[in-house]
């Protein structure tokens, strides 16, 4: 069996990116959209760590840790905003949030 | 990597503005439960003092410019210019928030703490010389601004604005990060100067297609943040739904900081691959100007009109970026300063007029303002004339320098289309003037309250600034010229 190379990780990351983008663009539930954004951030992390281990340079791993911390902060704020919206509008579906438009 | 990792005192001094802001923001949050409800205005005073101190610290830091923390930050003229700019925007936003917070009976402590935290992020963004720091600064600024956009928890419009801002903002950040990860992979570094060295060396330069993909991804992420077309969709909704003083803040401060990042990344790290990204910026500039101006023509809601106008103004700054020259960078800096002042001023007038619950936001609510409140109307007139680009205002010289830079870089078509766009824009700004001076006072203008002290300050200061930039532009322009070579 062939060993797993950096290229495999990059392929996995690209696939996660595409799944994430498709999720953001097509899903109605805002919770699933949030999950899709997390998926893209994890695709970035895989990329960074693969590059880091490929070039024996620790900077990418440090960057990945910052991204993990940021993703947590972002999810906390995002869910808070979502709860505020749910209390007022009783919905978490993106297409029912349509007060502001031209 | 130096053996001694402890920062020197010079480095700490270069980071002093951020330290002051972060400490004071935390101090406000600690103080909040102790004095809550007793003296709500104290937090505004504290945050203004903190921002003034941070401006002083930024100017002081510039007396000894240089890198800090192993080259992560770079305190140069460019960083100092934008630090002072975003802090000034913060002060004006806080001045225009006193009356608003009082009127809506909102908590003041958290509000001012969030403004200070957002400013920490913006100061880090404009100083960072390193992609990790840029990302961290961007997120500190964005997360605080997401919360501010939805600050009125019981207002459905604010909820919706915060949600849209959050979803599209974090989506954009994810794209930016993917671009950054690829750049890290092909160059092995995240330092802007080091990236520039790798990309400009023809023997080590990585494949053009990969660089192109990374630059395009980062462009998408940053264009979202500065509301450049075709990634401007979120801006009108968010600017309309968010509380007006917050709109004033986020349409000037975070936007200027995002443009600073844009200029720094694209004019240092990616300057050598400029022929590759110039078409991207060219198209985005044209689309932003055209979509912004033509959509603004048909708006009845004043906040939405100003939101589209701010998209158009982002387009003008992108023209300066497309010029890919030091003159272009200096022109963009000058324009952002002029834009920040007129935009904050115009939104402050809207905040003054809109009344409790922000019900009076349509264009017709300005009818007869010139009769009822001549001073407010005169100040709004100054901002609108500056938006149009009438001589003697900062907006005129801003546009003049941008189009001059574009012509020097042979962007003739972009200049022509930009000037045509400015002519279209004059129509909807003049429409506000006509309603304000030619129509009889309506129900809304009759009910408007007298100008409070904070709001008058938030209107008069940018009006003075607009005139200063319009009559004596050379001092600021010389500083911008000197700073446009960055620290490289």
**Mean model confidence pLDDT for chain B:** 91
Q: Quick one: pLDDT at residue B419?
A: 93
Q: Quick one: pLDDT at residue B357?
A: 78
Residues belonging to chain A with any Cβ–Cβ distance to chain B shorter than 8 Å:
17, 20, 24, 30, 33-34, 37, 40-41, 43-44, 47-48, 50-51, 54-55, 57, 59-60, 62-63, 66-67, 70, 73-74, 77-78, 80-82, 84-85, 88-89, 97, 99-102
3-state secondary structure chain A: CCCCCHHHHHHHHHHHHHHHHHHHHHCCEHHHHHHHHHHHHHHHHHHHHHHHHHCCCCHHHHHHHHHHHHHHHHHHHHHHHHHHHHHHHCCCEHHHCCCCCC
CB-CB contact of B414 with B487 (8 Å):
no
Q: Quick one: pLDDT at residue B127?
A: 94
- Name residues whose C-beta falls within 8 Å of residue B143's C-beta, 6 or more positions apart in sequence: A73, A74, A77, B121
Give the nearest partner residue to B237 out of A33, A57, A100, using CB atoms: A100
Angle at B148 between CA B147 and CA B150, to 5 degrees: 70
Q: Which tens digits make up the pLDDT trace of B231-273?
A: 998 999 999 999 999 999 999 999 999 999 999 999 998 988 8
Split at pLDDT 50, 70, 90, the class of A89 is: confident
- Report the first-to-last Cα separation within chain A, whole angstroms: 57
CB-CB contact of B339 with B398 (8 Å):
yes
Cα separation, B457 vs B460, in Å, equals 5
Q: Which tens digits make up the pLDDT trace of B405-418?
A: 999 999 999 999 99
Residues B296-322 have a mean pLDDT of: 94
Q: What is the ipTM of this complex?
A: 0.94
Cα separation, B135 vs B339, in Å, equals 25
Q: Quick one: pLDDT at residue A34?
A: 93
For chain A, the domains span 7-93
Split at pLDDT 50, 70, 90, the class of B178 is: very high
Give the nearest partner residue to B190 out of A55, A59, A67, using CB atoms: A59
Q: Quick one: pLDDT at residue B145?
A: 95
Q: Which tens digits make up the pLDDT trace of B417-445?
A: 999 999 999 999 999 999 999 888 887 77
Q: Which tens digits make up the pLDDT trace of B183-231?
A: 999 988 999 999 998 888 877 667 788 899 999 999 999 999 999 988 9
Residue A99 in this model has a pLDDT that exceeds 80:
no
Split at pLDDT 50, 70, 90, the class of B370 is: confident
Give the nearest partner residue to A97 out of B163, B189, B190, using CB atoms: B163
Residues belonging to chain B with any Cβ–Cβ distance to chain A shorter than 8 Å:
132, 135-136, 139, 143, 146-147, 150, 153-154, 156-157, 159-164, 166-167, 170-171, 174-175, 177-178, 180-182, 184-185, 188-190, 236-237, 240-241, 295, 299, 304
* Percent of chain B's residues with pLDDT above 70: 98
CB atoms within 10 A of CB B75: 26
- Identify the DSSP state of B472: S
Q: Quick one: pLDDT at residue B106?
A: 86
CB-CB contact of B352 with B383 (8 Å):
no
Residue B485 in this model has a pLDDT that exceeds 90:
no
Q: Do B174 and A41 touch (CB under 8 A)?
A: yes
Q: Quick one: pLDDT at residue B3?
A: 52
Split at pLDDT 50, 70, 90, the class of B487 is: low
- Stronger pLDDT, B103 or B317, i.e. the higher one: B317
Residues B12-29 have a mean pLDDT of: 94
Q: For residue B458, give the nearest of B334, B310, B347, B338 by alpha carbon.
A: B347
pTM of the full predicted structure?
A: 0.94
Q: Quick one: pLDDT at residue A91?
A: 82
Give the nearest partner residue to B177 out of A41, A51, A55, using CB atoms: A41
What class has domain A7-93?
mainly alpha
Residue-wise DSSP of B110-146? HHHHHHHHHHHHHHHHHHB-BHHHHHHHHHHHHHHHH
């Amino acid at each position: 069996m062939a060993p797993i190379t950096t290229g495999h990780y990059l392929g996995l990351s690209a696939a996660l990116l595409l799944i994430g983008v498709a999720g953001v663009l097509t899903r109605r539930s805002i919770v699933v959209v949030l999950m899709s954004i997390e998926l893209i951030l994890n695709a970035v992390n895989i990329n960074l760590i693969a590059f880091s281990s490929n070039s024996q340079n620790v900077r990418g791993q440090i960057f990945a840790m910052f991204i993990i911390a940021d993703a947590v902060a972002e999810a906390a704020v995002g869910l808070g905003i979502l709860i505020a919206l749910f209390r007022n509008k009783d919905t978490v579906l993106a297409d029912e949030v349509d007060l502001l438009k031209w | 990597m130096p053996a001694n990792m402890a920062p020197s005192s010079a480095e700490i001094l270069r980071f002093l503005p951020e330290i002051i802001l972060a400490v004071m923001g935390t101090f406000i949050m600690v103080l909040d439960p102790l004095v809550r409800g007793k003296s709500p205005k104290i937090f505004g005073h504290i945050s203004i003092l903190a921002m003034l101190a941070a401006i002083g610290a930024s100017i002081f830091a510039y007396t000894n410019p240089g890198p800090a923390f192993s080259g992560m930050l770079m305190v140069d003229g460019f960083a100092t210019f934008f630090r002072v700019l975003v802090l000034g925007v913060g002060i004006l936003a806080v001045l225009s928030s006193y009356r608003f917070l009082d009127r809506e009976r909102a908590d003041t402590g958290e509000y001012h703490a969030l403004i200070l935290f957002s400013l920490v992020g913006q100061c880090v963004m404009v100083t960072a010389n390193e992609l990790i720091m840029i990302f961290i600064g961007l997120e500190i600024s964005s997360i605080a601004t997401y919360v501010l956009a939805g600050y009125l928890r019981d207002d459905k419009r604010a909820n919706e604005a915060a949600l849209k801002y959050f979803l599209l903002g974090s989506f954009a950040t994810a794209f930016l990060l993917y671009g950054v990860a690829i750049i890290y992979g092909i160059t092995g570094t995240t330092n802007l100067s080091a990236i520039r060295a790798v990309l400009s060396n023809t023997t080590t330069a990585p494949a053009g297609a990969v660089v192109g993909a990374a630059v395009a991804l980062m462009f998408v992420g940053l264009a979202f943040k500065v509301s450049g077309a075709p990634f401007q969709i979120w801006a009108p909704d968010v600017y309309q739904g968010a509380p007006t003083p917050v709109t004033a803040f986020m349409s000037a401060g975070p936007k200027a900081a995002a443009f600073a990042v844009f200029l720094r990344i694209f004019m240092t790290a990616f300057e050598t691959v400029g022929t590759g990204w110039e078409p991207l910026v060219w198209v985005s500039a044209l689309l932003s100007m055209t979509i912004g101006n033509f959509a603004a023509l048909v708006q009845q809601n004043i906040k939405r009109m100003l939101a589209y106008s701010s998209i158009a103004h982002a387009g003008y700054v992108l023209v300066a970026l497309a010029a890919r020259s030091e003159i272009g960078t200096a022109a963009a800096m000058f324009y952002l300063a002029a834009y920040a002042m007129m935009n904050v001023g115009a939104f402050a007038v809207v905040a003054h007029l809109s009344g409790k619950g922000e019900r009076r936001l349509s264009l017709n609510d300005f009818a007869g303002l010139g009769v009822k409140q001549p001073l407010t109307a005169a100040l709004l007139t100054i901002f609108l004339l500056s938006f149009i680009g009438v001589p003697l205002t900062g907006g005129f010289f801003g546009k003049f320098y941008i189009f001059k830079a574009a012509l020097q870089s042979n962007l003739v078509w972009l200049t022509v289309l930009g000037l045509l766009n400015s002519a279209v824009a004059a129509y909807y700004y003049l429409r506000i003037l006509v309603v304000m001076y030619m129509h009889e006072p309506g129900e809304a203008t009759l009910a408007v309250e007298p100008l409070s002290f904070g709001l008058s300050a938030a209107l008069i200061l940018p009006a003075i600034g607009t005139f200063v930039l319009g009559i004596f532009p050379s001092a600021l322009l010389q500083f911008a010229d000197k700073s446009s070579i960055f620290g490289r």
